[in-house]
Amino acid sequence: MKKRKNNNIKSILIIIGSIAVIIFLLLFVYMQKSSENYKNIKIDKNKYLVYSIVEDKKSDYPKYVPYVNIKGNYVKEVNKDIDSFTKDILKRNKSIVTYEYDINGIILSLVVKILDNEVSYSPKIYFRTYNINLNTMELISDQSLLDFFKINEKGVSDAIENKFRLYYEELVKEKYYQPQECNYECFLGYKDVDSYTSNVNYYVKNGNLIAYKPFVFYSIFGDEEYFDEDDFEFLLVETDKN
């Protein structure tokens, strides 16, 4: 009788233990799924991590303003800064506002792009980037990002210079420029580039560190036909995918 009672207790303990393991596994899967779609850090769980708070696609000058759907005071300041950055440009009919974002591990990178066509000489392009640590919901400083990718300001300057020199060589090859009429320094003047590292915004894309560097893409040489949106991205550090 005592033996049967002990066996019953043992069976009950086994059942309780099994239920506990199942509950733990279900909670683990739920937490994993919650982490994968970031519901645990979202303000509005039914929306994307970044979504358009302003969306105007009716004209030839679309405007999409992002909202970072993440809890925390740091991100609140990001959204305020985006609002401040885009407020005036939204009033201009011939302006374009777009954005894109990428998630690389724990880093969310967001870039806001503005093209202002209501200027006297040439359209102006502006960039503003934000890199957010998804674990701490804090902004990652430029210096921390450079340290992480093991590159310094000179490395940034060299990478950007190399690409500008390549642009110039290709434009000469395509007959937009004649070296005797406009050398490389002249080319930089038309592009309004007096420093390779001024107005640089950092962004992580496909695991690589890139810089967004604005420059004047119109000139008397008609080379605006040569440039497209991707030409404002400068690869600084390429991650080894192997």
Is pLDDT at 242 greater than 50 in this prediction?
no
pLDDT at position 121, please?
A: 74
The whole-number pLDDT of residue 53 equals 96
Query: Above 70 in pLDDT, residue 2?
Result: no
pTM (predicted TM-score): 0.82
Predicted local confidence at residue 34, as pLDDT:
39
pLDDT beyond 80 at 169: yes
Which tokens in the block code for residue 87? Answer: 């407020």
Q: What was the pLDDT predicted at 114?
A: 96
Cβ-count burial 163-189 (b if 16+ within 10 Å, e if not): bbeebbeebbeeebbeeeebebeebbe
What's the average model confidence in pLDDT over 55-61?
86
The sign one gets for the Cα dihedral 223, 226, 227, 228 is positive
What distance in Å separates the CA atoms of residue 64 and residue 6, rounded to the nearest whole number?
69
Q: What pLDDT is attached to residue 241?
A: 59
pLDDT in tens, 118-153: 876 788 999 999 999 999 999 999 999 999 999 999
The CATH number given to 41-137 is 3.30.565.40
| pLDDT, mean over the chain | 86
Q: Is the pLDDT of residue 3 over 80?
A: no
Model pLDDT for residues 60-107, shown as the tens digit of each residue: 899 999 999 999 999 999 999 999 999 999 998 889 999 999 999 999
Q: How is residue 109 annotated by DSSP?
A: E
Is residue 216 within 8 Å of 194, Cβ to Cβ? no
Query: Is pLDDT at 178 greater than 90 in this prediction?
Result: yes
**Residue 14 pLDDT > 60:** no
